Amino acid sequence: MLRESVTEHGTADLLEDFVQLLKPDGSRVANPTFDTWVADVTDEQLVSLYEDMVVVRRIDAEATALQRQGELGLWAPLLGQEAAQIGSARALRDDDFIFSSYRENAVAYCRGVALTDLLSMWRGHSHGGWDPYTVNMAVPAIIIGAQALHATGYAMGIKAEAADSVAITYFGDGATSQGDVNEALVFAASFDAPVVFFCQNNQWAISEPVGVQAKRHISERAPGFGIPSMRTDGNDVLAVMAATRIALDRARGGGGPTFIEAVTYRMGPHTTSDDPSRYRTKDELEEWKGKDPITRLEALLESTGALSDKVRARVKAKADAVAGELRQGVISMEDPHPLSVFDNVYAEPHSWLERQKSQYAAYLETFEGDER
């Protein structure tokens, strides 16, 4: 629920102190406030959300395999966080602008980012991957928490233009310890900026558990800045969608920013260079597998008869086709010209950068004809 002030609800380890509409076993939970915000979601739309999650999990698995096979330099898996990303992204309008971290590949998929563009940065072929203005989504922010400031600034621009679009920024629990996120909250609250702060609390900031970052729920920080907050089950696609719709409606109506904490779990490594077995237990992973966002929606659809064998086969075929297209697109990428690394660094010509470019070009010329 929206919290205008800090509550007395437990500490950060009380994970189930959140809004939940869909239990891990697929049964629905009644919530008069949140149910109204997803009352229009039909079985057909639920199947579409299910398809989204299955497809992006397949994308994630394929990208991980490509990295292991030497086709990508690095990859940041989202395994386990599909509902948080799909439920929120599908609540947005096309003119809402997204500022993400490096793990929101499901959000990018929902925005229509080309499959190869999802991976071009990780292959070292581009600075970011896509043109932000074609999909209204900024390229991934590698600097932890920086995107929160970008979103707040953009939202202040929206307000100055008297538009009713909204900016949304995604970040993890670890980013809330960064100054950038806290500074963004200050500015957003002070200027009533139409921005949604979406924190995916996946329990681990690389190898540090969330209990080291926060002794109380992360969502309880926002009211201290004057920003209402909600805490939802991040593995429940319906609860996430409802919370996001509430926040968006508030922003569009001039109510200013909202903070959402989606309690989820990173089932894979922080990136493919990480070994999570060094800092978390098998029992913990097994516990969270029982809360899987896809299997719970699957169970709901099975109970209503909306998930037939035909639908399953179609979804699987779609996921396999997307994975095949992704793989072919990556391995067939042509290597960029070395000097293209200087492209799009600045909006206008820059003498300092041009000097570097000329020096690098001279360096490359020393290799011409070299057979090594």
Active-site residue flag, 270 = yes
Chain centroid to Cα 111, Å, comes to 12
Q: Which two tokens stand for residue 363?
A: 């360096």
Active-site residue, selected from the candidate residues 57, 103, 250, 270: 270
Q: Give the separation between CA 307 and CA 269, rounded to whole angstroms.
A: 31
Active-site residue, selected from the candidate residues 68, 93, 127, 279: 279
3-state per-residue secondary structure call for 311-338: HHHHHHHHHHHHHHHHHHHHHCCCCCCH
Active-site residue flag, 266 = yes
Active-site residue, selected from the candidate residues 231, 266, 296, 327: 266
Q: Give the separation between CA 236 and CA 22, rounded to whole angstroms.
A: 6
Q: Give the separation between CA 119 and CA 128, rounded to whole angstroms.
A: 9
Q: Which two tokens stand for residue 138?
A: 């900024």
Three-state SS for 148? helix
Q: Give the separation between CA 45 and CA 47, rounded to whole angstroms.
A: 5
Three-state SS for 292? coil
Buried b (16+ CB within 10 A) or exposed e, 18-31: bbbbbebebeeeeb
Q: Which two tokens stand for residue 21?
A: 């509409």
Active-site residue flag, 125 = no
Active site residues: 266, 270, 279
